[in-house]
Amino acid sequence: MMLTRAAARPAAGLRAATFAAPAALRSRALPVTWARGMAKDNKPQSPRFSKRPAQKSTPLPPSNGTSASAPKPVPEPPKQPATPQEPEQAPIPDLSKLPDLTQGIPSTLEYETAGATDRSVLAAIEEEEAAKAGGGGRSKGELPASAYVSSSERRRQKLVMWALGLTGLSAVVGVAYLGRDWDEEELSKNPEVPNGWSIGLWWKRAMARMGDTVTYYQEPAFEKLLPDPDPSFERPYTLCISLEDMLVHSEWSRDHGWRVAKRPGVDYFLHYLSQYYEIVLFTTVPFATGEPLVRKLDPYRFIMWPLFREATKYKDGEIIKV
């Protein structure tokens, strides 16, 4: 401690003598001492000991002897304001080539009649482009057409193929079954097509059986619609009447649905004519619909023989009462 204080006193005295010396002497001794002082002052200090604000060092006025050695500050050139760059303008479209839509959508008849939408022309253009691309039907790096089909579409196509195959197989089996040989009853009804194993006879028997099946729905259910008259109830004449729009009238409305109305005087009409005529009801209404109406309309059974749609004949898309 004693040696440190003894060494610090000459240094402090030298610094005070330097500031007290004239300017000429100060200019010579100042740089060394000032550099040593700056070296000591530049040491980092902890923030709790640096309570005094940092003092700004004022530059010393240059002397005559050191003015040439001191560097002069070079003034910076003034900064020029940056000029904003003009944005690139988009090209202005030629509006004269666009269609005039103020009077509606123009017709494309001339464009279509010129052959621009012809499939053959478009196919030729596509073939030319494919040939230019590589000649293999598709351009380089392009996947085949099957690669763009989804899995669900492939599954759907597979199901369609299976359905078509089963339909064809069932058709072949059905024709083979219908073309089997006749039994005794069928042979008596179709004597023109004999039994045999040839393909022609097999096909004719299949078509004959198919025709009989269709005829069952086209022809009346019974060959003889009316039975022979009973002598105890025999009448001199037979009167054939219709149900719809003669005895009853049906109409449909949005509020009430289907409604059936009985014509005035129907009861007296049936009661009076039943004394002189054999009354037969012949209508195109199905049995399931007409039977409840007839039973309610004629509770005393003045109508002896009711005939419904099952007794009619279907020909050329029309229902005929024969």
Rg, C-alpha atoms of the chain = 60
Whether residue 195 contacts residue 184, with contact meaning beta carbons closer than 8 Å, is answered with: no
The gap from C-alpha 3 to its chain's centroid, in whole angstroms, comes to 100
At 230 the pLDDT is 81
Confidence of residue 166 (pLDDT cuts 50, 70, 90): very high
Confidence of residue 163 (pLDDT cuts 50, 70, 90): very high
CA distances from 4 to 9, 13, 296 (A): 9, 15, 143
Smallest CA-to-CA distance from 266 within 238, 229, 293 is with: 293
Q: Report d(CA 35, CA 37) in Å as an integer.
A: 5
For residue 243, what are its two tokens?
């149900």
Whether residue 267 contacts residue 227, with contact meaning beta carbons closer than 8 Å, is answered with: no
Q: Which residues does 298 contact at the CB level (< 8 Å), separation at least 6?
A: 270
Whether residue 271 contacts residue 299, with contact meaning beta carbons closer than 8 Å, is answered with: no
Give the start-to-end residue ranges of the domains of the chain: 2-37, 172-218, 231-320
Question: CB-side exposure of 50: number of CA atoms within 13 Å?
Answer: 10
Smallest CA-to-CA distance from 297 within 319, 279, 275 is with: 279
The gap from C-alpha 288 to its chain's centroid, in whole angstroms, comes to 45
Of the chain, the percentage scoring pLDDT greater than 70 comes to 65
Confidence of residue 231 (pLDDT cuts 50, 70, 90): confident
82-105 per-position pLDDT tens digit: 566 666 777 887 777 777 778 778
At 172 the pLDDT is 92
CA distances from 11 to 6, 19, 31, 226, 264 (A): 9, 13, 15, 155, 149
Mean pLDDT of 187-207: 88
Give the mean pLDDT of the chain. 76
pLDDT at 253 > cutoff 60: yes
Confidence of residue 7 (pLDDT cuts 50, 70, 90): very low
125-152 per-position pLDDT tens digit: 777 777 776 655 555 556 666 677 788 9
Give the architecture (CATH level 2) of 231-320.
3-Layer(aba) Sandwich (3.40)
State the residue for tokens 């596509």: 126
Task: Evaluate if pTM is beyond 0.85.
Answer: no
Mean pLDDT of 34-45: 50
Q: Are strands 277-282 and 237-241 parallel, antiparallel or unpaired?
A: parallel
At 25 the pLDDT is 44
